[in-house]
Amino acid sequence: MPLIFGLPAAEAQAAARHGELALGGCTMPVEPPNWECPGGHRWRDADEIGWDERLMSVLVAHGYPED
């Protein structure tokens, strides 16, 4: 699932409660991971476009406005 850092929007909090998004906390590492599995393993995938598309689809499904 997509992993985000920082203060999450309400839609991100809802997605996290439903297990569709992982919240990484307020402090972002120097080279932050962008994915997390249900077991808590985190990794960085260079496919930023794929990550962004998945993140936005999860957020929009929870009411985040589309651009």
Q: Is residue 38 part of a domain?
A: yes
Tally of CB atoms within 10 A around 5 = 16
What pairs with residue 2 in β-bridges?
A: 35
Give the structural domain span for 37: 3-61
Q: How many domains does the chain have?
A: 1
Is 36 a domain residue?
yes
Whether residue 22 lies inside any domain: the answer is: yes
Strand partners, 43: 35
Domain assignment of residue 39, yes or no: yes
Residue 66 inside a domain? The answer is no
Cα-based angle 26, 28, 33 (whole degrees, multiple of 5): 120
Residue 67: predicted pLDDT? 72
Give the tens place of pLDDT for each residue, 7-49: 999 999 999 999 999 999 999 999 999 999 999 999 999 999 9
- Whether the Cβ atoms of residue 21 and residue 58 lie closer than 8 Å to each other: yes
- Give 2's DSSP letter: B
